[in-house]
Amino acid sequence: MSLPTNVRLVEVGPRDGLQNEKQPISVADKVRLVDDLSAAGLGYIEVGSFVSPKWVPQMAGSAEVFAQIQQRAGVTYAALAPNLKGFEDALTAGVKEVAVFAAASEAFSQKNINCSISESLQRFVPVMEAAQQHGIRVRGYVSCVLGCPYEGEVAPQQVAAVAKELFAMGCYEVSLGDTIGTGTAGHTRSLFEVVGRDIPRDKLAGHFHDTYGQALANIYASLLEGISVFDSSVAGLGGCPYAKGASGNVASEDVLYLLNGLGIHTGIDLEQLIAAGQRICNVLGRDNGSRVARVRHAAQ
Instruction: Name 31's bridge partners.
Output: none
Q: Which does 108 bind (CB under 5 to 8 A by kind): Mg ion, ligand HMG, none?
A: none
Q: Which of residues 216-235 bind Mg ion (CB under 5 A)?
A: none
Residues in binding contact with ligand HMG, number by CB under 6 A = 26
Give yes or no for residue 207 binding ligand HMG (CB under 6 A): yes
Residue 240 known to be catalytic? yes
Site map (CB under 6 A) of ligand HMG, residues 173-202, x = contact? ----x-x-----------------------
Q: Which of residues 81-110 bind ligand HMG (CB under 6 A)?
A: 82-83, 85-86, 89, 101
Question: Of 196, 200, 266, whose CA–CA distance to 230 is shortest?
Answer: 266
Residue placing its CB nearer to ligand HMG in the complex, 72 or 96: 96
Q: Write phi, then psi, for 97 (nearest 5 degrees).
A: -150, 135
Q: Which residue is nearest to ligand HMG (CB)?
A: 177
Give yes or no for residue 113 binding ligand HMG (CB under 6 A): yes
Give yes or no for residue 244 binding ligand HMG (CB under 6 A): no
Q: Which does 56 bind (CB under 5 to 8 A by kind): ligand HMG, Mg ion, none?
A: ligand HMG
In whole angstroms, give the CA distance from residue 273 to residue 11. 11
In whole angstroms, give the CA distance from residue 101 to residue 115. 12
Q: Which of residues 250-289 bind ligand HMG (CB under 6 A)?
A: none
Give yes or no for residue 56 binding ligand HMG (CB under 6 A): yes
Give yes or no for residue 220 binding ligand HMG (CB under 6 A): no
Contact 273, 256 (CB under 8 A): yes
Q: HSE (CB half, 13 Å, CA atoms) of 265?
A: 3
Q: HSE (CB half, 13 Å, CA atoms) of 173?
A: 20
DSSP secondary structure string for all residues of 121-135: HHHHHHHHHHHHHHT
